Chains A and B, each alone.
Chain A
Amino acid sequence: MKHFAKLAAAALVAGAMGTAALAESLYAPNLSYRTGPFAATGIPLMNGQKDYFEMLNARDGGIGGVKIDFAECETGYSTEKGVECYEKTKGQAIVTQPWSTGITLQVLPKTNVDRIPILAPGYGFSPMADGKVFQWAFNVPSGYWDAASMIINYIDNEAGISGKKIAFVHLDHPYGKEPIPLFEKKAAEMGFEFLPIPVGLKEMQNQSAQWLQIRRERPDYVVMWGWGAMNAGAITEAVKTKFDMSKFIGVWWSGHDADLAIVGEDGKGYKSISWSFPNLDAPVMADIKKHVVDAGISQSNETEMQGVFYSRGIVISMILAEGIKTAQDHFGTAQINAEQLRWGLENLNITEARLAELGMEGMVPPFATSCANHTGHSGGWMLEWDGAKFVKVSDLLMPDTSDYADLIAEKAMEYADANTPWEMNEACNVTN
């Protein structure tokens, strides 16, 4: 009983302190997925994101003197929990980070009514790039169509894409279907054969049928839009069927070190396009080590911290932090609200110089956003698995954004029409 009383008292004090702390912090929740079928890829991303904010809080006392309350709400990648988390957090939140294409699709129309910016770095609905229509949604620094464009250009430069056969192994789910319209458009324009090979959610880990088909079709390249357990499945099958790994290119979510580590040397040559890259010598990594890891508040570990996904988590948090800072500077207040953060995210300007200041050189290409451009189209690097880790094998590649600007505008308007009344940013008069 005594213990219980003590515990209750402690809880009360902690509660009181908690609310006191809340008053002078910015609430930036993250709908995390450290549990469930996709946890293996979620954990390094969540750790990277969290550690960056922990580091800012410890080193600088937050941003502009306000601590960031980077709370997590666990969804387990389930859309039902996602809705619950969104509703739970949206009250004081200045941002929502849904972390799954399914949850993104669900909160996308709600954020337009609730007026909360939705930050979905490198994922979600590609037409969100059109900031005039999707004024509350951001998929910085690159969208899926950017990735598809960069991959097509890479293949074109390497071997000349015309006349080639490209197999597209993808998750049969909104996420995997995202780049298909662009691939189809480019196939017609550039004269290559595009062969979509869907992988159902249930057969993610057993893709023998798909790879049998690939062996029969003899494509020149295999492009993959895989996620979670699907990547490891595809990579092991590719090794088993002795597919030339150097002709196998994945999107950024298919470049997870742990998936490749399973096959090790055999996976040599596998490529993945990426808008982020781990730079272990970057000053920011040293700061995280000093303020977060050594202080014992990181949930990460040495191997994980060297991986692509952990450093991508850091970059994602940096984008949000920069958005907050930009908004604080512009509005002259540290306690910004959701509307002000939207302005901040709309006016990001991450230059090489700014990256150097942040101690994040080489971790993400420079990019800028505007009220019309909510993606930034940063471009990316081609990464290659060398048997033990991913290395950069290209200079910065840029997508042909102008090429599909019409497609983005058209699809965005289609969405707005289907969801009337849909509030748009009429005041925005920039074109890019």
Chain B
Amino acid sequence: MLYRTAGQFKTSYEADQALFPVKQDAFLLGVILLFAWVIFPLTASEFTFQAILIPVLIFSLAAMGLNILTGFAGQLSLGTGAFMGVGAYACYKMVTLMPWMNPVVAILLSGVFSAGVGVMFGIPSLRIKGFYLAIATLAAQFFLVWLFEKWAWLYNYNQSGAIQVPNLEMFGTFVSGPQAASVTEYYVVLAIVTLLTLVCINLTRGNLGRTWKATRDMDIAAELIGINLMRSKLTAFAISSYIVGVAGAMYVFMWKGAAEPNAFDIPLSFEVLFIAIIGGLGSILGNYLGAILIVGLPVVLNLVPATLGLNWSSATVEHLNVMIVGSLIVFFLIVEPHGLNQLWRLIREKLIIWPFPH
């Protein structure tokens, strides 16, 4: 009914391979973009910006970066948190060394540093695969966090060892730091996330994406048909780390405001990995759905008892919250092991042929 495709004829290959072969998809995306760009910013409170909208977007982007590497190119990585840290520290050094620099440019550039580091730690992927590679990236995780702690130059010899986001201006308004309004931060995050999502969608649909998928599905076969495995794997590491690094820079500059090295420790890597898995490996939309479930839902659930007027202690609510989110994760993975993205795809396909069963 909602997804009736009757009357939508494709007369060329191009039309058939377009981003939105079904008109309703484009419409749906339009509605979502309208909400994201106009309706949320107009209606959201500061709490919604800080606790839901901004973190969900940033985590979606981080998961998207990981998804390029793990979901599309098939290279397991446990170092996401550390690569996010590289982005954050790079951004910090840039804005403190060059205060005149445009903050958005600094954020976008900081990904370059994490891409470099990512490629370095991606080199082992040419020789080892699967879990062994995951352990190699785990080494990156430990090494980089150690480096953030020990290399005092990185945090400008700050006595507390943490990086503090200074107030950063762009065209006369504060876009980062304590003086920045939440709505400005949100728009910056949204613009960057939208841009990089667009890039990701097109990358994964294009030539590069196809070589990644071939590498993922069977690397020997891919090599036999003439795919340069080294190029395929290292570009995946570079692009993935770039996106993760940008997400890391925004994580500190657009959201947290300060970070100690420990913030980029392994729990962060796991959180991003969970989002990618729950959302669905090898998908773009899944990252958003996963981030909504893992980052957004606990915040919303925390508010429920108070809204209902139940006077439960905060610790009880937190315990319940962990239980509910945990069981939801288990539930979704049982119902659809390929993640929320696949669940949505099935629903969509069923809607297209509705009311017929086949």
Do A and B bind? yes
Question: What residues make up the interface of A, taking CB atoms closer than 8 Å to B?
Answer: 11-18, 32, 34-35, 71-74, 76, 79-80, 83-84, 87-88, 91, 101-102, 105-106, 108-110, 112-113, 125, 172-174, 177-178, 180-181, 200-201, 299, 411, 415, 418-421
**Interface pick from B35-43, B209-217, B257-265:** B257-265
Contact indicator A109/B256 (Cβ below 8 Å): no
A239 to B159, CA, bound (A): 32
Contact indicator B315/A421 (Cβ below 8 Å): no
User: Which among B149, B258, B307, B318 is the interface contact of A105 at CB below 8 angstroms?
Assistant: B258
Known: A101-B160, A173-B161; 19 extra A-B contacts, CB below 8 A, are A11-B309, A15-B307, A15-B309, A18-B309, A72-B314, A72-B315, A80-B256, A84-B51, A87-B47, A102-B263, A105-B160, A106-B258, A110-B178, A173-B262, A174-B260, A177-B159, A178-B159, A201-B262, A299-B313
Contact indicator B161/A418 (Cβ below 8 Å): no
Interface size on B, residues (CB 8 A): 42
A51 to B146, CA, bound (A): 41
Note all chain B residues with C-beta closer than 8 A to A200: 149
Contact indicator B177/A109 (Cβ below 8 Å): yes
User: Which among A35, A178, A419 is the interface contact of B315 at CB below 8 angstroms?
Assistant: A35
Contact indicator A178/B50 (Cβ below 8 Å): no
- Given A35-B318, A112-B178, A106 and B257 contact (CB-CB distance below 8 Å): yes
Looking at the assembled complex, report how far the CB atom of A409 sits from the nearest CB atom of chain B, in whole angstroms.
14
Note all chain A residues with C-beta closer than 8 A to B302: 84
User: Which among A12, A32, A71, A79 is the interface contact of B263 at CB below 8 angstroms?
Assistant: A79
- Given A35-B319, A112-B178, A201-B262, A419 and B166 contact (CB-CB distance below 8 Å): yes
A111 to B174, CA, bound (A): 17
Note all chain A residues with C-beta closer than 8 A to B179: 113, 421
B255 within 8 A of A: yes
B317 within 8 A of A: yes
30 A–B contact pairs at CB < 8 A?
A11-B310, A14-B309, A17-B309, A18-B311, A32-B315, A72-B313, A79-B260, A80-B55, A87-B50, A91-B47, A102-B262, A105-B160, A105-B164, A106-B257, A109-B165, A109-B178, A109-B257, A110-B178, A172-B149, A174-B160, A177-B160, A178-B159, A178-B160, A181-B159, A200-B149, A201-B262, A201-B265, A419-B177, A420-B166, A420-B167
> Using an 8 Å CB-CB cutoff, how does the interface string of B37-66 with A read, 1 for contact, 0 for none?
000000000110011000100000000000
Contact indicator A74/B318 (Cβ below 8 Å): yes
Looking at the assembled complex, report how far the CB atom of B306 sits from the nearest CB atom of chain A, in whole angstroms.
8
Looking at the assembled complex, report how far the CB atom of A125 sits from the nearest CB atom of chain B, in whole angstroms.
6
A412 to B51, CA, bound (A): 29
